[in-house]
């Protein structure tokens, strides 16, 4: 529950902090509606559409309504997939409005004690600290390798967990050992003729749980003629914080990253997770009111490139022979890679270049799979509705390999495969792993 | 505010799930795509069938509660803004295609069907439903019928009205009536079908419609004619028609519109020319080819600086999509976009374009003009800021002059967007007092308690006409 006092503060903060020009920029044409997953899946409820949410934010600013539970619900149910942005002819930056609104709500609302503990643990004690991330992933590794996992599965202990978490447990990748996670390279030479010097943004989750994909990414960069530097003092991108109403922590992480990368004299900073990349290219917005950081953030942003973009730019797929055994592959867009970083054709070009495999475009590949950061845990009901819809389209392609470009999407697609009982015939992979697999 | 007694009665009709009077739900149905109009309804309801609609109307008629039927809220005349409160009716449960009749070439649908879904469904069967309002990706057929929507293909194929052949409607007293049929000919009594089309929800609630389909044209070609002179572009429009060619589409975009549309769409639209005509023809290949050549010839005679034919359907589709985004793209220029819909006989289009430019200069405004030039239907759109009251006064004056000019040229105040609440004060300019009285008599016969979308079409006060002294 939100108290009267909290509602008042939230309302005042909306007035003071929400960008009125951006709110007015929405002229309510409704062109965003058909692209919004929650609008469609909620049975065309305007309160779960971008146009509706913007109208609600404006109404709170204007004092037409008070920020009650329904209002918060409308903003919470948003995936933040930003599919509404590329189709908006007026160019409304919906993502920015959403982040600001969520930040105001979370900073001014006293969460329940358990929620407070979890939020603090996750946002402040865990993600910003790479050693603790390693520790946690290490524990998962211990769980997987020690035999506890096998035992837990046998005893049926997992049946005690909610379905969602039980399924999640199954799809976690086999995580690396502590040793593997600690001994990370800081420099790798180009293997082919050198065309670029790049830095690699390794990410918190990607450099622990998805270490294999990070290794694959660096290998691809080397083969594409890139000399790779991996600064050790880099941090989590802060996306999780930014999207969950923890803007100040996000700013701290942004500054740490800018500092870690700005003096490396590289052509590009490469990411392999759409969710991180889209947040990194938004650092200039995040730090726009900070005179010391504004310009540095802009310089940083200009260098961010997804791995698939650079590979296409240097003609990797034309120079290196890629081949796989006969199979149908399809691609599920990472919303933030597509809508935030505007990268959509590069991954497809790479996949289409793989000899032997047949690439089939999935219908509505640009619609969110329901992963959306921690959305599939906190809003699991809507998330599963979306995942089920996604699996219908995935199955219709007859693909045996579903390719994604973001860790959250990857886990979600694996969860989808598990839920459909297809794990013996269908797999989900990160694009970099498939590319490494197909190098001849 | 609804009394508890009324709320109970309404809930008993549709169940709790389909009645909502929470603050948030009322707020999100307080607007449509028209700037500067917002008003909260008392509740939002989603009936599941005609019988429920009938029961709702009976209750509303008894208690004199306003009813506002709403599709996706994309109209541009404040037609679905509940200016007098009451109940907003949604059709999310009544959204089925009931039948495609390939022998009679008709489709029967419920009002909540999305226009583009309908178009795609019939095209799968080699059939064609031409009305294509710019909002068709999300607009509903019920909304299209109530607003008599037009679109890019109106020049050759007409508007929604020309395709509605039968309706099921619920009258304010709860009577459910059927009009028309799957008939090419039908003169049994008054043509109520046509009356309800474009009635903006002020007479009855449409609960089912049968639409006429036509065979899909064999081919289609698209070209752009570029001009460095606005009048030359406008003259080309009249000349093409005078040369006895009726293209499918003949759209006009001026330079300011081209610039913002290109900024959004990024498809390489020419932004260094003063105006562009987007021209399309469909039909048998040899006729399309012949007409395209002929039109290109006319455009060149009228000083088109260049003619570009779209190389593929993808390219053509990108051009059409870009054009459809024009209105919203103009919103990039300023916080508020106010557009008009003045329409003149095709022969007068050059004069109208000229007049709009003079009026823009006179009032020192930013007005982008685009629209269905071939229909004589232009959309001068003003990029302004509703917070700037002084400028808003000038905007209003400018649009009044544009209306006045359109009427003087034998035109109308709205070609396809409807009157709604937005243009109601100006309706008398077009219809005269007697015309309004005749329409009010019809309204009164159907809806004596004025519960059907009150405050729309008929204004409490008409605007005084401006006098142009030249």
Cβ–Cβ contact A74 with B under 8 A: yes
Does 3.40.1280.10 match the CATH number of domain B4-89? no
Give the largest CA-CA distance in chain A.
65
d(CA B206, CA B222) in angstroms, rounded, equals: 36
pLDDT of B109 over the 90 cut: yes
A27·B73 Cβ contact <8 A: no
pLDDT of B465 over the 70 cut: no
Most B CBs within 10 Å, among A28, A56, A76, A87, to test the B interface: A28
User: Lowest-pLDDT range, A62-71, A122-131, A395-404, B443-452?
Assistant: A122-131
What percent of chain B shows pLDDT beyond 90?
Answer: 91
B33·A21 Cβ contact <8 A: no
Compare all CA atoms of chain A with the CA of B93 and give the residue at the minimum distance.
A43
Rounded Cα distance, B203 and B241, in Å = 37
CATH class of A320-438: alpha beta
Interchain contact, A47 vs B28, CB within 8 Å: yes
> CA-to-CA distance for A33 and A35, rounded, in angstroms?
5
CA gap A358, A371 in Å, rounded: 26
Lowest mean pLDDT among B122-126, B317-321, B372-376, B461-465: B461-465
Q: Which CATH number does A179-312 carry?
A: 1.20.1050
Question: Which of the four pLDDT bands, split at 50, 70 and 90, describes residue A397?
Answer: very high
pLDDT of residue A98 exceeding 90:
yes
Cα distance from B33 to chain A (closest Cα, Å)?
A: 5
Show residues of chain A in contact with B34, CB under 8 Å: 28
Q: What is the ipTM of this complex?
A: 0.94
Task: Label residue A3 by pLDDT band (50, 70, 90).
Answer: confident
Residue A27's nearest CA partner among B265, B365, B36, B380 is B36
CA-based nearest distance B271→chain A, Å: 17
Contact present, B350 and B369 (Cβ < 8 Å): no
pLDDT greater at residue B212 or residue A125: B212
Residue A373 backbone zone (phi > 0: left; psi -120 to 50: alpha; other: beta): left
CB of B35 within 8 Å of a chain A CB? The answer is yes
Sheet containing B164-170: give its strands across.
B97-101, B106-109, B205-212, B164-170, B176-180
What is the rounded CA–CA span in Å between residue B392 and residue B397? 9
Quick one: average pLDDT of B220-227?
Answer: 95
Interface membership of B337 toward A (CB under 8 Å):
yes
Of the candidates B40, B90, B328, the beta carbon closest to that of A90 is on: B328
User: Is the pLDDT score of A255 beyond 50?
Assistant: yes
- For residues A417-424, average pLDDT: 93
Domain extents for chain A?
Answer: 4-108, 113-177, 179-312, 320-438
Q: Is A363 on the interface with B (CB under 8 A)?
A: no
Question: Shortest CB distance from B264 goes to which of A33, A55, A91?
Answer: A91
B29 vs A contacts (CB less than 8 Å)? 46
What is the reported pLDDT for B469? 43
Task: Output the CA–CA distances (angstroms, integers) from residue B189 to A438, B83, B193, in the order listed.
Answer: 73, 34, 11
* H/E stretch holding A139: helix A130-145
- Of the listed ranges A99-113, B32-46, B93-107, B175-189, the one predicted with least confidence: A99-113
Distance from CA of B192 to the nearest CA of A (A): 31
Assign domain A4-108 one CATH number from 1.20.120.1200, 3.40.50.150, 2.60.40.10, 1.10.1060.10. 1.10.1060.10
Number of A/B CB contacts below 8 angstroms equals 98
Give CA–CA dist B368/B271, Å, rounded.
13
Residue A424 structure tokens: 């013996």
Question: The whole model's pTM is what?
Answer: 0.92
Q: Which of A27, A30, A56 sits opposite B35 (nearest CB)?
A: A27
Rg (CA), chain A: 22
Which region holds residue B302: left if phi is over 0, alpha if psi is between -120 and 50, else beta?
A: alpha
Confirm if B333 and B383 have CB atoms less than 8 A apart.
Answer: yes
Judged by CB atoms closer than 8 Å, whether chains meet at B29 and A33 is answered as no
What mean pLDDT value characterizes chain B?
94
Q: Give the contacts of A415 (CB within 8 A, at least 6 positions apart).
A: A167, A168, A171, A376, A387
Residues 6+ away with beta carbon under 8 Å from B410: B344, B345, B348
What is the DSSP code (8-state) at residue A199?
A: E
- B336 contacts A31? CB cut-off 8 A: no
Chain A contact present for B432, CB below 8 A: no
Task: Say which CATH architecture domain B97-215 belongs to.
Answer: 2-Layer Sandwich (3.30)
Q: B370 and B337 in contact (C-beta within 8 Å)?
A: no
User: Looking at chain A, which residue has its C-alpha nearest residue B35?
Assistant: A27
Measured distance CA(A136)–CA(A181) in Å, rounded? 11
Complete DSSP assignment for B129-140 = -----TTTTT-B
Name the CATH superfamily for B219-408: FAD-linked oxidase, cap domain/gating helix (3.40.462.40)
How close, in Å, is residue B133 to chain A by CA atoms? 12
| Segment A2-17 mean pLDDT | 91
Report the pLDDT value the prediction gives residue A116, as an integer from 0 to 100: 74
**Spatial separation of the C-alpha atoms in residues A122 and A205, rounded to whole Å:** 13
Closest residue on chain B to A26 (Cα)? B331
């Amino acid at each position: 529950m939100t108290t009267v006092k909290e509602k008042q503060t939230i309302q005042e903060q909306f007035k003071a902090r929400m960008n009125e020009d951006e709110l007015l920029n929405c002229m309510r044409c409704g062109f965003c509606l058909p692209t919004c997953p929650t609008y469609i899946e909620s049975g065309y409820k305007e309160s779960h559409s971008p146009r509706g949410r913007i109208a609600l934010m404006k109404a709170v600013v204007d004092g037409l309504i008070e920020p009650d539970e329904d209002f918060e619900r409308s903003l919470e149910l948003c995936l933040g997939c930003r599919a509404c942005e590329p189709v908006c002819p007026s160019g409304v930056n919906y993502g920015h409005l959403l982040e600001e609104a969520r930040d105001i709500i979370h900073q001014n609302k006293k969460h329940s004690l358990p929620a407070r503990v979890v939020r603090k643990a996750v946002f402040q004690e865990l993600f910003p600290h790479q050693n603790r991330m390693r520790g946690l992933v290490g524990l998962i590794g211990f769980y997987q390798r020690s035999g506890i996992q096998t035992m837990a599965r046998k005893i049926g202990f997992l049946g005690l967990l909610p379905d969602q978490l039980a399924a999640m447990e199954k799809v976690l990748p086999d995580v690396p050992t502590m040793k593997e996670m600690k001994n990370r390279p800081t420099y790798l030479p180009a293997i082919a003729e050198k065309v670029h010097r790049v830095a690699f943004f390794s990410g918190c989750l990607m450099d622990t749980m998805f270490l294999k994909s990070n290794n694959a990414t660096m290998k691809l960069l080397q083969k594409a003629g890139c000399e790779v530097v991996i600064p050790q003092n880099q941090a989590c991108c802060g996306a999780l914080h930014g999207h969950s109403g923890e803007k100040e922590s996000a700013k701290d992480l942004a500054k740490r990253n800018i500092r870690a990368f700005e003096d490396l004299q590289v052509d590009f900073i490469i990411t392999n997770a759409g969710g991180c990349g889209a947040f990194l290219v938004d650092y200039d917005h995040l730090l726009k009111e900070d005179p010391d950081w504004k310009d540095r953030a802009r310089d940083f942003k200009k260098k961010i490139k997804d791995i698939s973009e650079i590979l296409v730019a240097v003609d990797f797929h034309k120079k290196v022979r890629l081949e796989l055994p006969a199979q149908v592959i399809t691609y599920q867009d990472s919303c933030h890679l597509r809508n935030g970083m505007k990268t959509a054709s590069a991954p497809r070009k790479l996949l289409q270049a793989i000899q032997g495999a047949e690439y089939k475009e999935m219908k509505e590949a640009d619609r969110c799979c329901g992963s959306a950061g921690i959305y599939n845990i906190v809003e699991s009901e809507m998330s599963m509705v979306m995942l089920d819809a996604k699996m219908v389209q995935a199955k219709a392609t007859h693909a045996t390999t579903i390719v994604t470009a973001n860790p959250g999407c990857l886990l979600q697609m694996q969860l989808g495969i598990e839920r459909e009982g297809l794990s013996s015939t269908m797999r989900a992979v990160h694009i970099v792993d498939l590319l490494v697999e197909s190098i001849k | 505010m609804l009394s508890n007694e009324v709320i109970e009665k309404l809930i008993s009709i549709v169940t709790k799930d389909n009645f909502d009077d929470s603050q948030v739900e009322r707020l999100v149905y307080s607007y449509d795509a028209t700037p500067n109009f917002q008003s909260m309804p008392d509740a939002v309801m989603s009936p599941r069938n005609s019988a429920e609609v009938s029961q709702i109307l009976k209750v509303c008629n008894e208690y004199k509660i306003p009813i506002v039927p709403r599709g996706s809220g994309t109209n541009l005349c404040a037609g679905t803004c509940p200016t007098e409160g009451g109940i907003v009716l949604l059709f999310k449960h009544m959204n089925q295609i009931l039948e495609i009749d390939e022998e009679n070439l008709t489709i029967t649908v419920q009002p909540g069907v999305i226009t583009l879904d309908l178009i795609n469904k019939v095209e799968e069967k080699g059939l064609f439903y031409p009305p294509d309002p710019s909002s068709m990706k999300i607009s509903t057929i019920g909304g299209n019928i109530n607003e008599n929507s037009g679109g890019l293909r109106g020049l050759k194929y007409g508007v929604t009205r020309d395709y509605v052949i039968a309706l099921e409607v619920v009258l304010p007293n709860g009577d459910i009536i059927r009009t028309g049929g799957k008939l090419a000919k039908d003169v049994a009594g008054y043509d109520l079908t046509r009356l309800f089309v474009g009635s903006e929800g002020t007479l009855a609630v449409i609960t089912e419609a049968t639409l006429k389909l036509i065979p899909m044209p064999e081919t289609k070609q698209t070209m752009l004619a570029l001009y460095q002179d606005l009048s030359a572009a406008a003259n080309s429009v009249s000349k093409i028609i005078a040369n006895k060619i009726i293209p499918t589409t003949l759209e006009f975009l001026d330079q300011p519109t081209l610039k913002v549309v290109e900024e959004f769409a990024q498809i390489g639209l020419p932004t260094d020319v003063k105006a562009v005509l987007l021209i399309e023809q469909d039909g048998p290949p040899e006729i399309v080819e012949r007409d395209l050549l002929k039109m290109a010839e006319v455009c060149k005679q009228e000083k088109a600086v260049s003619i570009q034919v779209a190389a593929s359907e993808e390219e053509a589709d990108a051009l059409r999509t870009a054009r459809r985004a024009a209105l919203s793209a103009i919103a990039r220029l300023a916080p508020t976009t106010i557009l008009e819909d003045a329409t003149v006989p095709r022969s007068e289009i050059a004069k109208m374009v000229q007049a709009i430019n003079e009026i823009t200069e006179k009032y020192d405004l930013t007005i982008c003009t685009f629209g269905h030039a071939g229909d004589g239907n232009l959309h001068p759109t003003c990029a302004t800021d509703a917070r700037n009251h002084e400028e808003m006064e000038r905007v209003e004056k400018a649009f009044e002059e544009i209306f006045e000019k359109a009427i003087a040229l034998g035109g109308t105040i709205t070609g396809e967007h409807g009157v709604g609440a937005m243009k109601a004060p100006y309706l008398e300019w077009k219809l005269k007092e007697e015309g309004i009285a005749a329409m009010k008599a019809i309204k009164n016969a159907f809806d004596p308690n004025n519960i059907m979308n009150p405050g729309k079409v008929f204004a409490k006060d008409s605007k005084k006409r401006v006098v142009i002294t030249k």
